Amino acid sequence: MLFKHIYDEDLAQGSYLIGCQATGEAIVVDPRRDIQVFLDEAERNGMRIVAVTETHIHADFLSGSRELARATGAALYLSDEGDADWKYGFEGTPLYDGSRIEVGNIGLEAVHTPGHTPEHLSFLVTDGATTDESAFILTGDFVFVGDVGRPDLLDEAAGGVDTRFHGAKQLFGSLRGFLSLPDHVQVWPGHGAGSACGKSLGAVASTTVGYERRVAWWAPFVERGDEQGFVDALLEGQPDAPLYFGRMKRHNKAGPALLGPLDELERLDGRDLAPDDDGGYLLIDTRSKEAHWHSAVPGAVHVPAGKSFATYASYVIDPERDERPIVLLAADVAMAEALRSKLIGVGIDRVVGFVDDLAGLPAQPIVMVAPERLGELTGAYVLDVRTKTEYDAGHIPGAEQIHAGRVMWRSDHLPTDRTIVVHCQTGARSAVVASALRAAGFDDVRELEGSFEGWQQSQREQPVA
């Protein structure tokens, strides 16, 4: 059996390519939308992708299941469990609890594991060439390393009302079934540390049923049958959900738009970006925050190229509201196309070109506020874009907390007649959000030098009276 864990560090998301080496056939589980990585992996290993499936309707990335099935001619399998509100809106072979997918000698048995979402499936994987016992379980957003999937995302980002309580009870029941599996079964989840799909996900790629039984926080609740204790502990302290999750849910339910082969991106220059009657382009400044602070282009949105590029872009760019074509600042076409692939994974599809420098564009330094002078800004609105957990652990007196992934959806609640001072923990998220606010027309948006850590340091350095 060939077993490949294909991990996207930006979205902290895991896909799986599993193949039968005797027949050269493979299945992909939970593919992301940039499908070339799966085509390349299959070719590298002499495999033909004949089946594609996913564990559930995802919220944090745009699924590539439909795209990959079309590109390869593979059969597409989709959960038909759950309630009527969360059925897939496009065709696939329906899966139910106990359904099996056979790929050569490899068998995947669907196990209905509701809680994170009503339709959620896990897959028990068996290598029939060696044994009839399952060796792996692909748990999607059901069981993570050291944690379980949050049941509140339908409430937080998809318009649900109090679905979290029923979901938490469903999750409790699903976990009872999980603990009935043998200890040796390897657990391969859909996410790792950094994902907002759970509360405190582990940083290692996999675990086992036995290990989770021994160390997971939730296991004692399940083993002693304490459903209410589990529900209370699970729902307490869940992180804020970025509001782009709602868009991902809707598109993954209906069926993400099919892309097909992508054109090579066009190299542009600054003169091409001048506004026109159609509004012009949206420029994404991918430099470091320090470079952006030194010379920001008015109207551009700052999203640094790095492991959080797609996540941060989704925090501040809503392609359903801003239909302008997108131009990336990139060193060359290869970098631009790599960044476009990341954006495609979160449904930001309108990238048409790139610039390799900012020549010909106006630029100016960002106004920073020294922490020790924050109190001198009379009437300033201090915006903390960290998570609720970070805020509750310590914050600047009087600061208002709105998660970075929610600010642009809540911008109508922000003052337009006061200075806005934005900060996060170290300055990365706040630089992204502040640039988006300026681009949206907020006239006086400043950033806190050193962000919250800088403010803490200034407090420590104040002389004792």
Task: Classify 44 as helix, strand or coil.
Answer: helix
Residue type, 450: G
- Predicted pLDDT of residue 105: 96
Beta 136-140 vs 186-189: how paired, if at all? parallel
Q: One fold for both 2-254 and 368-461?
A: no
Tell me what pLDDT residue 200 has.
Answer: 63
Structure tokens at 100: 């099996």
Alpha carbons 100 and 341: distance in angstroms, whole number: 32
Residue 108: phi and psi, rounded to 5, are: -120, 120
- Quote the CA–CA distance of 160 and 338 in Å, as a whole number: 35
Residue 48 to residues 20, 51, 72: CA-CA distances in angstroms? 10, 9, 8
Q: Answer whether CATH 3.60.15.10 is correct for domain 2-254.
A: yes
Picking from 36, 38, 35, the residue whose alpha carbon sits closest to that of residue 66 is 35
pLDDT of 1: 94
pLDDT tens sequence for the chain (465 residues): 999 999 999 888 999 999 999 999 999 999 999 999 999 999 999 999 999 999 999 999 999 999 999 999 999 999 999 888 889 999 999 999 999 999 999 999 999 999 999 999 999 999 988 888 999 999 999 999 999 999 988 777 666 677 899 999 999 999 999 999 999 999 999 998 766 665 566 678 899 999 999 999 999 999 999 999 999 999 998 888 889 999 999 999 999 999 988 989 999 988 778 665 556 899 999 999 999 999 999 999 999 999 999 999 999 999 999 999 999 999 999 999 999 999 999 999 999 999 999 988 999 999 999 999 999 999 999 999 999 999 999 999 999 999 999 999 999 999 999 999 999 999 999 999 999 999 999 999 999 999 999 999 999 887 655
- Domain boundaries, given as residue ranges, for the chain: 2-254, 266-355, 368-461
**So what's the pLDDT on residue 464?**
58
**What 8-state DSSP symbol labels residue 16?**
E
Q: List, in sequence order, every residue forming a beta bridge with 28; answer none if it has no partner.
A: 17, 52
- Torsion angle in degrees (nearest 10) through CA of 347, 353, 358, 361: -90
Classify residue 285 by its DSSP letter.
Answer: E
| Residue 102: half-sphere exposure toward Cβ, Cα within 13 Å | 6
Q: How does DSSP classify residue 273?
A: G
**How many Cα atoms occupy the beta-carbon half-sphere of 208 within 13 Å?**
9
State how far the alpha carbon of 118 is from the alpha carbons of 4, 112, 198, 235, 387, in Å.
Answer: 27, 9, 16, 17, 26
pLDDT of residue 158: 66
350 in helix, strand or coil?
A: coil
In words, the CATH class of domain 266-355 is alpha beta
- pTM of the full structure: 0.92
pLDDT at position 199 is: 57
CA distance 391 to 411: 19
Q: In what order do the strands lie in the sheet with 93-95?
A: 2-8, 13-20, 25-29, 48-53, 75-79, 93-95
The pair of structure tokens assigned to 79 is: 């959960």
| Rounded CA separation 387/389 (Å) | 5
Task: Locate 29 and state its tokens.
Answer: 């589980």
DSSP reduced 3-state for 445 = strand
CATH of 368-461, one of 3.30.750.80, 3.40.250.10, 3.40.50.720, 3.20.20.450: 3.40.250.10
Mode of pairing for the β-strands spanning 93-95 and 25-29: unpaired
How does DSSP classify residue 296? B
